[in-house]
Amino acid sequence: MAGHASKQIDSKTLWGGKMSPFSTSYGKLMMWFFLVSDALTFGGLLIAYGFTRHDYLGSWPIGEETFNSMPFLGHGFPLLYVALMTFILIISSVTMVLAVEAGHRMDKRGVIKWMIATIVGGFFFVGSQAWEWSHFIHGSEFGKVEIYDGSIATVHGTFGEIENFHVIVAGEHHEAGSDIIAGEHGMTQAEMMHMYQHAVAEGNVVDNVITLHDGSQAEITKMANTDVALYIKETGGEYEMGHHIEGAEAVKFYEDAVNSGDAGRIVYGANLQENEYGPQQYGQFFFFITGFHGFHVFSGVMINILILMGVVRGVYHKRGHYEMVEKTGLYWHFVDLVWVFVFTFFYLV
Amino acid sequence: MERDDIIEYSLEGHHSEEKGKQLRKTIWKVTALLTAITAIEVLMGAYIKQGDNWTWEITKWVFVALTLLKAGFIVLSFMHLGDERKTMRYVILIPYFIFILYLIFILLWEATAVGDLWTNSAV
């Protein structure tokens, strides 16, 4: 489409100076060179990821087990959210190529329309990634557990809701005999859950009694966890890697760890030190690779907005061609291209 | 003095209404293809369990093949590299493939060395 590939030029004229042997402008060629070097950066990151992953074999998290949530809908949707993100990015790539096509026809309104669509798509993708990060950082209701023999397992099932904390020993804020319950004194279910998870992680739950931050102690009333299954990720001796513990045994092992009073037996969510999905490096690679890609998407959206402003003001129309749209388009497609690889190697394989 | 060193190549980058119609048709075709490939990948990812068996071994390679197919469509069609001059195509692709294959070679070589060391040394 670009360039005059159909025209016959003898090589002496072509390589003799005063014209581009590639029939491409300087800017477009440099954009390609930049993209090649950026593609190598991402290639290096994914290859480092592959190396680390194979060091851990079975203990590495499995995509469809880790990423199975949807906003507002909860769990049980393996990979659907990432698929949606991928689809959003592909569509925004399509609207970008349509903007470039409109530019070749000098159709200013068409360029504006499709570039706005691309920018909206880009914002949707960045927003989706923000949701995914937030979900990844906060983690599941169960977390990851270290059971009695030292084996480490991810926990699956339905978490029984917390009903109330019945205070038995008074602290700074709560009187003995009072109930801490969602809906009263500005307390929400999410806050109750947060207090519970915090106490469990710190080892402040012993025999169903929670020690709160203010020093008060309370009995926990909660519904039973159901359909609990433990997937062994790291063997502690008794169980092999990849083994699934289910039924009453799974419930007991999990409850024992929760009520042990030992800090660190349960890990919730993710940070750079530890995460509930797998080895430490898994979290680091997740944050770095998807973060680096997300940063590219964000810059792409910003560049698209700048170019759109130029289009609206008629800068490129006056210039006689919309090559700037083509150049930002190259970058935008590249971002989509990288995601295709991240999607395969981070989520699928 | 008139400058003769500035050449506007991009002025060549125009096409007619009919050509545009034809190009848009191709764009939508590629879109449908990319979406279909992604859907297949997601279904395979969701329903085929990972494990030490040949089904998963094949699935992995199918994923890699589908990814390269998608990448090919994006680069050649959306990024128009397929429409550029052959020399430019090679200038972009050949160095990239040389370097990426070299990186993959290092990965496999190092991974094998590290793996051997771990299995052969007493823990």
- How high is the pLDDT of residue A53? 86
Count the Cβ atoms, other than its own, within 10 Å of residue A239: 20
| Residue A4 structure tokens | 């005059």
**Residues B73/B34, Cβ–Cβ less than 8 Å:** yes
Q: Which helix (H) or strand (E) holds B74?
A: none
A40 and B100 within 8 Å at the Cβ level: the answer is: yes
**Contact of A18 with B5, CB cutoff 8 Å:** yes
Question: What contacts B64, CB < 8 A, 6 or more positions away?
Answer: A344, A349
Give mean pLDDT, residues B47-53: 81
Contact B96, A36 (CB under 8 A): yes
Q: Do B13 and A78 touch (CB under 8 A)?
A: no
> What integer pLDDT is reported at residue A101 of this predicted model?
94
If residue A35 lies in a helix (H) or strand (E), which one and from where to where?
helix A26-56
- The pLDDT tens digits for B63-107 are 999 999 999 999 999 998 988 888 899 999 999 999 999 999 998
CA distance B121 to chain A (A): 15
Phi–psi pair at A222, nearest 5 degrees? -145, 155
Alpha carbons within 13 A on the beta-carbon side of A216: 20
pLDDT of residue A5: 47
| Phi and psi torsions of A322, nearest 5° | -105, 45
User: What pLDDT does A2 receive?
Assistant: 45
Structural contact between residues B38 and A50, judged by C-beta atoms closer than 8 angstroms: no
Do residue A93 and residue B16 have CB atoms under 8 angstroms apart?
no
Q: How far is B66 from chain A (nearest CA, A)?
A: 9
Q: Measured between beta carbons, which residues in chain B are less than 8 angstroms from residue A340? A: 67, 70-71, 74
A322, A298 contact by CB (below 8 A): no
The pLDDT, as a whole number, for residue B29 is: 94
ipTM: 0.86
Terminal-to-terminal C-alpha distance of chain B:
79
pLDDT for residue B123: 52
Can you tell me the distance from the alpha carbon of A96 to that of A178, in angstroms, rounded to the nearest whole number?
60
| pLDDT at residue A119, rounded to an integer | 97
**CA dist., res. A184 & res. A226, Å (int):** 27
Give the model's pLDDT for residue A75.
Answer: 76
Cβ distance of A83 and B39 shorter than 8 Å: yes
Cα–Cα distance measured from residue A200 to residue A223, given in angstroms and rounded to the nearest whole number: 16
Nearest CA in chain B to A337: B71
On the CB side of A85, CA atoms within 13 Å amount to 27
pLDDT digits (tens), chain A, 349 positions = 444 445 566 777 777 777 777 878 888 899 999 999 999 999 999 999 988 888 776 678 888 778 888 887 777 788 889 999 999 999 999 999 999 999 999 999 999 999 999 999 999 999 999 999 999 999 888 999 999 988 999 998 889 889 889 999 988 888 888 888 888 877 888 888 999 999 999 999 998 899 988 889 999 999 988 889 999 888 888 888 888 999 889 999 999 999 988 888 999 999 998 899 988 999 999 999 999 999 999 999 999 999 999 999 999 999 888 999 999 999 999 999 999 999 999 998 8
Residue of A nearest to B118 (CA): A55
Whether the per-residue pLDDT at B50 is higher than 70: the answer is yes
pLDDT at B119 over 80: no
- Tell whether A315 is within 8 A of chain B (Cβ): no
Question: Cβ A344–B67 below 8 Å, yes or no?
Answer: yes
The full DSSP string for A113-179 is: HHHHHHHHHHHHHHHHHHHHHHHHHH--SS-EEE-TTS-EEEEEEEPPPEEEEEEEE--SS--TT-E
- Rounded CA-CA distance A261/B105 in Å is 48
CA angle A332, A346, A291 (to 5 degrees): 50
Exposed, middle or buried, A183 (CB in 10 Å: 0-12/13-18/19+)? Answer: exposed
Question: Rounded to the nearest 10 degrees, what angle do helices A323-342 and A26-56 cross at?
Answer: 10
Comparing B66 with B118, the larger pLDDT belongs to B66
